[in-house]
Amino acid sequence: MDIEIRLSQFEASLSWPAVFGNHNPVVCEIGSGKGRFLISSAAANPALNYLGIERAVKYHRLIRERVERRGLDNVRLLNSDAAHFVRAYVPPLSVQDYYILFPDPWPKKRHHKRRLVTEGFLEALLPTLAAGGGLHYKTDFEDYFEQMLTVSRARPELAELQCRTISAALVDPEAADTSFERKYLMQGRSIYAADFQKTFSTTR
Ligand SMILES: C[S@@+](CC[C@H](N)C(=O)[O-])C[C@H]1O[C@@H](n2cnc3c(N)ncnc32)[C@H](O)[C@@H]1O
């Protein structure tokens, strides 16, 4: 079985049961990097389906090797721009959780427009999130975290469940969710995390 999905398979929108071969809830991770979170979560939750969306082909291939080695049949991988995928392909109300962990921070002000988490991105993403579904963020970049909070708090359909700072002094880097989190904790940097829940449905 090929674990990789390609946009050319789908005309306009996709069918998750066709992608995964079952009707289990779907969790999407945007920017999976080396796959640490995707792989450990999928292994721990075999009754959930995981899609790892990664734009960089180098990381996409690395995750593919790792997932195949682990024999995880609840993981699919997509090498694409997540913003385009969410906008053009993901059916309304069809995703149980989105994880956006350490998205590229684009620290220079003139590059802020390249950041993934914006008002416009949430406008496209939230209709695809199931009612009761979760939107989860982590970053080491305080300024970007503020942006994530501002655009998310402005959405009436989102309830803020948690907003926290993880101090490097208090946690074991080896318990980190992702490779970037582990690296930053080892450098003594604080991590910012927030979880939102969609409380009522909107569709596009
Ligand atoms: C800073 S890395 C973090 C990787 C991983 N989440 C971690 O924490 O270790 C950001 C990742 O997001 C990917 N990425 C950035 N923008 C993306 C997009 N629009 N669609 C899919 N992947 C994206 C990058 O290629 C990179 O692998």
Whole-number pLDDT of residue 12? 62
CA distance linking residue 152 with residue 143, whole number of Å:
14
Q: How far is the CA of 89 from the centre of ligand 1 (A)?
A: 19
48 in any annotated domain:
yes
Q: Is residue 204 part of a domain?
A: no
Average pLDDT, the chain: 94
Question: What CA–CA distance (Å, rounded) separates 158 from 70?
Answer: 35
- pLDDT at residue number 11: 67
pLDDT tens figures, 152-180? 999 999 999 999 999 999 999 999 999 99
> Helices marked H in 21-114 — which ranges?
36-44, 57-70, 82-88
Looking at the domain assignment, is residue 9 inside a domain?
yes
Residue 179 belongs to a domain with what CATH number?
Answer: 3.40.50.150
Establish if 203 belongs to a structural domain. Answer: no
Q: Is residue 171 part of a domain?
A: yes
Ligand 1 center from residue 77 Cα (angstroms): 13
Residues 23-38: pLDDT tens digits? 999 999 999 999 999 9
Q: Does residue 184 lie within any of the structural domains? A: yes
Domain that holds residue 29: 4-198
Residue 49 lies in a domain: yes
Question: Given this model, what pLDDT does residue 1 score?
Answer: 73
- Of all residues in the chain, the percent with pLDDT exceeding 90 is 89
Secondary structure class of 43 (helix, strand, coil): helix
195 is catalytic: no
Report the nearest-CA residue for atom 1 of ligand 1: 104
What is the mean pLDDT of the segment spanning 17-28? Answer: 97
pLDDT above 70 (res 13): no
Q: For the chain, what is the domain count?
A: 1
Q: Assess whether pLDDT exceeds 80 at residue 10.
A: no
Q: What is the mean pLDDT of residues 104-118?
A: 94
Q: What is the pLDDT of residues 125-143, one digit of tens each?
A: 999 999 999 999 999 999 9
- Count the neighbouring beta carbons within 10 Å of the beta carbon of residue 92: 14
pLDDT at 177: 95
Ligand 1 atom nearest residue 183's Cα: 9
